[in-house]
Every structure is written in C-alpha cells, then in structure tokens.
Chain A
Amino acid sequence: MEKANISGYQLFVLIFLFEMGSALLVPLAGEAKQAAWLVILIAMVGGFLLFFIYYGLFQYYPDQLLTEFVRSILGNFLGRIVAFLYILYFIYLAARVLRDFGDTLLTFAYPHIPLFVANAAFILVVVYTVRKGVEVLTRTGELFFVLENLLLMTFFLLIVASGMIHLNNLKPVIEMSGTEMVKMAFTKTIFFPFGEIISFLMIFPYLNEPKRLKKIGISSIAAAGIFLAIIMAMNIAVLGVDLTTRSQYPLLSLIQSIEVAGFLERLDVYFLFLLMIGGFIKISVFTYVAVTGTANVFNVKQPSRLAYPVGFVILLSSIIIASNFTEHMHEGLGAVPIYFHLPFQVIIPLLLLIIAFFKNRKKKKGQHQNKFQGGVDQK
C-alpha cells in the first residue's frame, strides 16, 4: 500500500468517471430496445447490491487492500492464489477496455494506423499516470470530471437546440415483460459497468473518511446509472431504436447528427475526447489496481516499478485477446460475463463475505467473553 489519502469527493468523481468510461459509448442494454434506459436503471439497483457486498468486505477490513484481506480470510496460500487470480482478472479487464478503445479509434478515425501503435501510445500515457500513484490519478480525474460534464452538457444543449429529439421513438416504453427486463439487467448490464467496481476494493482503503463510503459509493453509482440511462434514452429518442441498436457507437452517430447554426457540425473530435477520457480513467484504474495488487502479493517494495511490465502485458494481451473486433465483441457479450464477471464480481466476493462474517463473529464473541472474564477477575 502506498501512502496516499483521497477525499470523498475525489472517490465519487473517480467512480463516476470509471462507470461512465466505455459504457457511455456502446449501446448499453441495446437489446431491450425502448426500455434500454429502464434496464440500465434496474441494473443500477443491482449495482447497489453488489456494492453492498464489497462494502461489507471493506467494513471487516477497512485498512486492507483486496489482495491483503483475501489472505486474511482464506489463509496465506489459498488467499495468495485468489489474489493472483484477481490480478489476472484486472489485467484482462484492462486489456479488454484497451482493445475496445483501440478498435473504436481505428474504426471511426484512423483506419491506417496499426492497432498496436494506437494501443501502445495509449498504454504509455496510462503507465505514466500509474507511476505517479493514486493521488495523482484522482486529481486528474477531478479535472476530467469537469471537462466531461461540460462536454456532455454542451451536447445536450446542442441536441435540444437542433430539435432532433423525438420522444415518440421511446414508445412503447415497456414492450418486454418485467421479468425479461430484470433477467437482462441481472445477467448482462449489471456486470458491465456496475460490477467492475470490485476493482475499487483496492482503492477504498485510501479514503480519508471511511464512514462516508456508503454514501459516496451509492451516490456515484446512482449518478453514473442515471447519466447512462439519460444518454441511452437520448440516443433512442434521436436515432430511433433501429439505428441505435445496430450502431456500434450510438453516441458517435448522435454527435455526428448535430448540426447547429450552419457551422457547428462534424464534432467527431469531441466524441474522441469523451472516448479518451473515459477509456483513460478506466484503463488507468485497472492498471493501477493490477500494479498495486502484484506489488502486494509478491512483496515488491516500489509498486511504480511494476508499471512498465504490467503495462506491457496489458498491451500485448490487448492485441492477442481476439483476432478481430467481431470476435472481441462476441467474447465480451458471451463468455466473459459468465466465466469472468460472474465468479469474480459476485460468487467469490459473496463467499469471502460469508467466511469473513463467520470468522469475525467468532472473534467478536471471543473478545466479548474475554472482556466479561476480565470484569469478573477485577471483582
């Protein structure tokens, strides 16, 4: 653990940007059609539940990182293995986001640049940031938070001004049945982006006011969820269900359709800006978490030294993870939620929480008895 201290507001901002990250750009819960925004909100509630699991774990071990308390719960050997699996999971997630990001960039703006170059340039920036530590990352997040919100507000105003919102596109609001929506929210949308908050178990211990964590976590997840729902609703209202669900990047189509006053058009660069801010924060958080985790598990004294090797691993895996974008997306929607997200975001934390609960109950009882005995002795 490095010596760092982050404030509640900073954590809020970081979680918000992290959740918005790449979820902003893809057709989130696109299969739900008009009800996409509703599914996002349901998934957000699911996100609260997941957050409570993580919060429970945090409360048992408020000054330990995920990789540390796993060892306190499961014992040194088994704990180390699980911690290592988590590190691999974070590296994999970082690689996935990087690949997403690189492919998006190549598809929409730079068809001639090799994927490796685009990703390498980006991971260099990320490694530079990670080497500076979590405080710098959160401070950067604060500035980007303002920037991203300014950009989104501007878009919103421009879209409203250009008169493209057709609320009829959002009807019928509920085409699917309730159970279908819940099923969808809890099998897909909850893992991406809400469940990924598990990586913050490596950042929560730096919070300088741990008592407020519950409020901060819930409010940032809620803010991000509501924002995402609004954006998705806006996508559908402007582009229509058909175009939104078929488009790879509905937000890009939305931005490209803006045309105000004859000169405010072709605002692709702003999409690029949003894409990069979101991608940067998300990859940086995952990389940071992977680096501190590795340092923690293998007792490396200077975590910043690991930034380059871990960054290199992420870069290479982002290239070899899939042979093309379609395969990448297919994996992301099919195998990853079941084989990675479900165990790492739900099952293992839940098991850990249960074990921690029993372990700590014993301890507390023991302490209580000791106290009682002590009292008797004094008499």
Chain B
Amino acid sequence: MASFFKQKRQVKQREKKKEDESQSQSKTPDYIESSLSANLEIVKKKTGKSPDIIIRTLKIGINPEIKTTILYVQGLIDNPSVTDFIIESIMKNPHLSKNILPLEAMEIISEDVVSLGGVERVTDWEKLFLTLLSGDTIIFIDGVNVALVASTRGGEKRSIQEPSTHLTVRGSREGFTESNGTNIAMLRRIINTPDLWIESMKIGTVTKTDVSIMYINGIVKEGIVEEVKKRLNRINIDSILESGYIEQLIEDQVMTPFPTLNHTERPDMVAGNLLEGRVAIFVNGTPFVLIAPALFVQFFQSVEDYYNRFDIASATRFLRIIVFVISIVGPAVYVAATTFHQEMIPTKLLVIVAAQRETVPLPAVVEALLMEMTFEILREASLRMPKAVGSTMSIVGALVIGQAAVQAGIVSPAMVIIVSITAIASFATPSYAIAISARIVRFGFIICAGMLGFYGMILAFIILIVHLCSLRSLGVPYMTPLAPLNPKGLGDTFFRRPIWAFKERPQFLTNENNLIREGDNQRPLPPESRGMKTSDGKKGEGNES
C-alpha cells in the first residue's frame, strides 16, 4: 500500500513540476487581472520598462477611489485625440462625478466618455499588446479585469508624394506611402464600389506586420484569392520588412531570373490590375504593393499606355519590346558577328570594325564581358553612393572608361557604342524588375555567342523561351496570352486595342461570369448631321458656315 501511495505522490510531484515549468516559461498570464498595480507590473515586465511606453494614472472625475491608468506608445498615437478625447474627457466628464463602482465607470467610459471612433474591450494580454504597439490607447480601471482599447493610431507618416518609379508624363501624381491604411484608402478613392474587398492578416512572428489582400469581388477569378490566402498563411517567418519578403515566399518558381509577381508604387496601376481580376497585396512599411498573378507581357505595360491614344500606345509598346530584345542580345550579336559570322556584316562596315579591332588585344567575348561588367559596376555604384559624389562618378565613367579605354586600345569604339546602346535599352523597360533579369540573361547570351556564335545564341534563345514557358504565376502560365494562346487577350500585348474596342476583361484572369467591361457601340463618331448624306431638312446643322 505504502509503495502505491508513494508512487502516486511522485506522479503528483512530477505533474506539479511540469506545471511550474510551463508557468515559468510563459511568465505573463493569459488574461488581464483586476488589480491595476498587478497589470501595470506585467506591462512593465513585458516591455522591459521601455521609456516610450507612457503610463499615466488619472483621477476619474471627482472620484478618487477608482484609479484609472491609460497606456500608450509615444509617437505611434495621434496626440490630439489622446489628450482631448481620452485624458481630458475622463477627467472632466460629469457622469463620472457620481459615486459609482469600477464596473459602472468602465461602462460609462466606453459608452459616454471616450469620443473616439473605435472602443473595444480586451481581456487577453496578447491582443492588448498587439493593439498597444500598433498605436492604440489602453485604459485600465482598478478592479476590473477588462481593458478598454481606444483606437488612436496616428503619428508621423510620410505624406503622399509622386512615385519615384513608373514615372509617367500623363496620369495621377499620387504614389503609395509606407502606411497601409493610407494606401488602402487611396484605392478606395479610385474604385468606389462595395465590391472592393480587403482582408487583413498579421505575418511575422516578431514583427507582426500588417498584410492586406485586396480584390474586387465578382471580378476576381474563383480560387485565386484562396490560393493567395493559402500561400500567405503558410508563411512562418520572424519578420516581414518589405513586400519583397512576401514575394519571395509566395512565388511559384524560385529558380528563375524573371519576376513572377509584379510590384508598383502607383495606385492607378493597382486599380487597373484589380479591375482585370488580379489580387493586390499591401504590406505595411513599404510603398511597393504586390500584384498577382503577373504575366510576362505585363512588364512591358505602363499605365500611360491606357491614357494615351491606342496608336501611340501601341507604337511605344512595340518599341519597348524591341528595346528589351536589344538589351538582351545586343552585345551577343556583336560578338557572334565579329567572331564567327563576318560574312553577315556588309563589307564596308566590316572593314571599319576590323580596322578598329586590329589594335585590340582581347577577343570580342572578353571585350564584351569586360565592358558589360564595367557598366554594371558603374550602375551599381551610382545607385548606392551618396548624391554628393555623383558628378565625380559621371566624369570617371565617361572619360576614364569611355574615352581613355578606347584611346589606350584596350576596347574598340564599336564595342563602347554597343554597350552604351544596350545600357540605355535596359533602362527603357518600364519595369525595373524585368530590366534586371534582362541584364543577367545578357551575360549568358554573350558567353554562348562567344563559344558557338549564332548557333549558341539561338540555343540560348530556345532555352530562354522554354524557361519562360515553364513559369507560372499563381498557377497562370507566365506567357499567357501568347502561349497558351488566347486570341482575345492579344489585344493588350504587343499593341493595345483602342479603349472602345476593349469589350471584355482578360478571360484567363477574370471571373468568367463577369467578363464584359463596356457596352456595345462605344466607338465615338462625329455627329450625324455632319455626315455627307444627311439632309433631313434641318438647315444650319450640317453646314460648315
């Protein structure tokens, strides 16, 4: 018998130990206590007594028995609303002057006193800290185990400015800021429908970053939102510091130089994409909003294409695609032609090129790689260095590397021209993300061209096409609508259909039941009376005089 009890006791002790351990691991209890001092102690312990967390004890009206404390984080709150609508009104509210119990005081504060938009009751610490650290004000009342949370988010933010990427001549000058709320509001202002749906979540175990997905209900294709949510929920990482984190964690293929999600700073671009059935992902702390799914052709579209008339827009878009091809194959063609296929070059030009290359000690491949590397170094340096030394850079770049290298006979002038054209071409692509991929792919092409001439180049081209065709963005093939071919979608690829002929939304992105985007007969026409044939008796209308 004795041994039996002994055993039991041991088990009990073990259990007790376990409980103790688990308690010591999670030091704070789950729920708010009713004692004010205990609560404040917990807050101080949890935040390491950080001085920016302001703890202010107040007297309720003329009632000295009930102690109240408000908590907020300096800099995250909107100062006037805390001072005017919380502190002042708690101190001076006539309702609180009577003799009341703490619980009643709480009721009165939440219903009568705090004249702010949102007041919530919170009982668990986790939520309390989350709201406190995102700029809300917490009100503790002694003797009540519930805290009030008043939404006072505010603080310093960057104002709305013109975006620094995706510049346009014509179009809105607004760019996103770092604040999610502001960004979402900007979209609300553009798309004025209750169908614009937003879902929010916190990602990042430490940073708890606000991430919102936005889409237009009814236009978005079924499944895409679920897929995005599934991928976002899968993320388990300590921090999200920029939308690039999200991009790298939810893309379909990892091993590719090409961007499979688009990002932008322009609200009008997001709006246009939402209206085609895409999903936008807003991440707090960055002005770059992700757009998914992204297609290859999309990276050659600029919002301005849709603001300009279609002929001009189509011409510029065609130019961009040519420019993209140049930025990939430019130096490679030169290398292949001068090393392997001299017969391709017209004789007179060949003589000039050959004369220039006579003094150059390096083979064309090495020359091209050297110059491309130099250009990449210049570009990277000019991006990162302080603005004050910018002029030095340009002098060094232009004189030393351009002029002097040619005069010294290390590179041929033709090579400098080729590299410069490619460099300019790579900046003429509207999307920075795809311009970078072109730059990386270019090196591969140069090496292939140096080894096997045009044969190598065409092999590289085939690999490039196969690779592009193998990519997907959120399940949509990357080369849609080119491959798989979608004849209706072609109207927005190499050329842009006139707006009045854009009858349908792209069916590979949009919900099939909601494809029609404009009415019939949208084509504008001159007034009928101006026509040659009309003579319905009304004088004066049809006359030029």
A interface residue numbers (CB < 8 A to B): 7, 9-10, 105, 109-110, 113, 118, 121-122, 125, 128-129, 132, 136-137, 139-140, 142-144, 146, 263, 266, 268-269, 272-273, 276-277, 280
Contacts and interface: CB of A to CB of B under 8 A. Distances in A.
Contacts of A146: 482
A144 B479 CA distance: 13
Contacts of A7: 484
A367 to B, nearest CB: 38
A269 B454 CA distance: 7
Interface string B411-436: 00000000000000000000000000
A110 B484 contact: no
Contacts of B477: 139
A142 B482 contact: yes
Interface string B314-350: 0000000000000000000000000011011010000
Give the interface SS of chain A, mostly helix, strand, loop or mixed.
Answer: helix
A273 B454 CA distance: 9
Contact of A10 (B465, B466, B482, B484): B484
Contact of A142 (B340, B341, B470, B483): B483
B484 A276 contact: no
Contacts of B456: 121
B458 A276 contact: yes
B455 A144 contact: no
Contacts of B469: 132, 136, 139-140, 143
Nearest to B333: A269
A143 B479 contact: yes
A17 B383 CA distance: 46
Contacts of B454: 109, 269, 272
B175 interface: no
Nearest to A130: B466
B: contact size bracket: 20 to 34
Interface of B: 340-341, 343-344, 346, 452-456, 458-459, 462-463, 465-466, 469-470, 477, 479, 482-485
Most buried by B among A7, A139, A277: A139
Nearest to B479: A139
B477 to A, nearest CB: 6
A251 to B, nearest CB: 16
Given A121-B452, A121-B459, A276-B459, A140 B465 contact: yes
Nearest to B345: A266
28 contacts: A9-B484, A105-B455, A109-B454, A110-B453, A118-B455, A121-B452, A121-B456, A125-B462, A125-B463, A129-B462, A129-B466, A132-B469, A132-B470, A136-B469, A136-B470, A139-B479, A139-B484, A140-B469, A140-B483, A142-B483, A143-B469, A143-B482, A268-B341, A269-B344, A269-B454, A276-B458, A276-B462, A277-B462
A23 to B, nearest CB: 20
A272 B466 contact: no
Given A142-B482, A268-B343, 14 more contacts: A109-B340, A110-B452, A118-B452, A125-B466, A128-B463, A132-B466, A136-B466, A136-B469, A139-B484, A143-B479, A143-B483, A144-B465, A263-B346, A269-B344
B541 to A, nearest CB: 48
Nearest to B471: A136
Contacts of A9: 484-485
A235 to B, nearest CB: 22
Contacts of A276: 455, 458-459, 462
Nearest to A262: B346
A112 to B, nearest CB: 10
Contacts of B459: 121-122, 125, 276
A266 B344 contact: yes
